[in-house]
Amino acid sequence: MEQQFTELAESIGALLRGKEGFLASFAGESSEFVRYNRAAVRQAGAVEQRYLTLELFEGRRHAAQTLTLTGGAEDKDQVARAVARLREILKDQPEDPLFLINETPASTRRILPATLPSADEMMETVTAAGRGRDLVGITANGPIHRGFANSFGQRNWDTASAFNVDLSFYLAADKAVKWGDAGTVWNAAGFAAKAEAAKQRLAALARPPKTIAPGGTRVYLAPAAVEELMGILGWGGFGLADHRTGTTPLIRMTQGETLNPMITLRENTKDGLAPGFQSKGFLKPDSVTLIARGAYQDCLASPRSAAEFGAAQNGADDNAETPLSLDMAPGSLPEADVLKALGTGVYVGNLWYLNYSDRNTCRLTGMTRFATFWVENGEIVAPLNVMRFDDTLYRMLGGNLVALTAERDVQLASDTYESRQTRSMRLPGAVIEDFRLTL
């Protein structure tokens, strides 16, 4: 795919007239997918797809089109037709005062090292883990490609190969244990350990469920539950435009309110799957510290927002100033001691259906689901019936945060709408006191 993209970029450059220029972004993948039900393979297949977004510009006038590529010789003809169409559109386009592109070529190439299983090996491992149980879910495996080129001679390429295992042990009705594994290096022993832990939670889930009264409760949020909190926080929490227009849910942090000093959040591009360049050709720094020891430090700034608000850009995309490689610093609590540290309270494996109940105060609401347990004296006693929570981030990750785990889980985006994604998070679990369960 890299060779094809390079050749297409050269062909686009040869078609330019006068003061025209171009930006080209490439997105492709070669993925193997398997769906499971009742611990058996129900659907297996491979997907290879390639997309090219071509943007033609002259001065501050610009127009773009996205093409689906075949990988064959006909793609150059398709690109030539697109250039001709965009040239006609460009004649009627007004100037865009916030159109900002990287005019200083900064070429890069990264092939992220990976050790992935074959499709057969992954299928055998997953079905073996589910033998005798109702295991459902999906696995995805293979390389994801991103590229950028422009008329100034810049060429960027990124290949990140990864696997993602998103599974559940289903018990009955709404009772299931959701679990998985993800990363760039397949570790069969690590996968087996996660499967065994999920089986133990499944056995506990079969006990008679418990209902507790609403109110403040001590909880442990597993990394997958923390991911849900961080995911919704990314909706405007860290973008420069959101901060400058006062629409960020973290508006109080811009006014001096802080979280617990244990909380440090970074956009860690260097160690993530997302490429180190964006759609206008600007490179991303290795790391941007968003929150340092509980205090807000920096925003994610796209070139467009930087031009509008008179700030420095740091490689965020114009249409999404959101974290793509979020990294939360670990704590000191060993994962093996989580139940002991929780004592008596609720173990939350996953949170669902999150939304803001009061955006200005960063108050979040959502549901527990799947494997949520009542714990007494460090021992799981019973599964907990589904409950709703409603609490502010300033309480959850502020004064009520007791501990973060020393170990962190890598959470890769499992959604496959249109294509696999390169979003990732590396997060610890969190023990929180007085977590507000409302009904």
Q: How many CA atoms, within 13 angstroms, populate the side-chain half-sphere of residue 56? A: 23
Q: Which residues of 249-285 are buried (b: 16+ CB within 10 A; e: fewer)?
A: bbbbbeeebbbbebbbbbbbbeebbbbbbbbbbbbbe
pLDDT tens for 245-282 read: 999 999 999 999 999 999 999 999 999 999 999 999 99
414: pLDDT strictly greater than 90: no
Give residue 319's pLDDT.
84
User: What type of residue is 128?
Assistant: A
The full length of the chain comes to 439
Per-residue DSSP letter, 159: E
Taken in order 343, 349, 352, 358, the sign of the CA dihedral is positive
More confident residue, 120 or 337: 337
Report yes or no: 430 and 229 within 8 Å, Cβ to Cβ. no
76: pLDDT strictly greater than 90: yes
User: What type of residue is 216?
Assistant: G
Give residue 110's pLDDT.
97
Give residue 391's pLDDT.
98
Give residue 118's pLDDT.
87
Give residue 153's pLDDT.
97
What is the DSSP secondary-structure string of 382-431?
EEB---EEEEEHHIIIIITEEEEEEEEEEEE----SSS----EEEEEEEE
Report yes or no: 35 and 140 within 8 Å, Cβ to Cβ. no
Per-residue DSSP letter, 81: H
Q: How far is CA 123 from CA 39, 42, 198, in A?
A: 10, 11, 18
pLDDT band for position 181 (cuts 50, 70, 90): very high
Give residue 32's pLDDT.
95
Report yes or no: 287 and 271 within 8 Å, Cβ to Cβ. no
What residues does CATH 3.30.2290.10 cover in the chain? 2-202
What is the DSSP secondary-structure string of 220-267?
EE-HHHHHHHHHHHTTTSSBHHHHHTT--TTHHHHTT----TT--EEE
Average pLDDT, the chain: 96
Report yes or no: 417 and 393 within 8 Å, Cβ to Cβ. no
More confident residue, 188 or 154: 154
Give residue 304's pLDDT.
94
**Alpha-carbon dihedral angle through residues 237, 242, 248, 252, given to the nearest 10 degrees:** 110
Cα–Cα distance measured from residue 177 to residue 58, given in angstroms and rounded to the nearest whole number = 55
Give residue 244's pLDDT.
96
What is the DSSP secondary-structure string of 339-354?
HHHH-SEEEEEEEEEE
Structure tokens that stand for 436 in this block = 């507000």
Give residue 198's pLDDT.
97
pLDDT tens for 278-330 read: 999 999 999 999 999 999 999 999 999 999 999 999 999 988 899 999 999 99
Give residue 403's pLDDT.
98
Cα–Cα distance measured from residue 164 to residue 413, given in angstroms and rounded to the nearest whole number = 8
Instruction: Say if strands 215-221 and 424-437 run parallel, antiparallel, or are unpaired.
Output: antiparallel
Instruction: For domain 2-202, say whether CATH 3.30.2290.10 is its number.
Output: yes
pLDDT tens for 25-38 read: 999 999 999 999 99
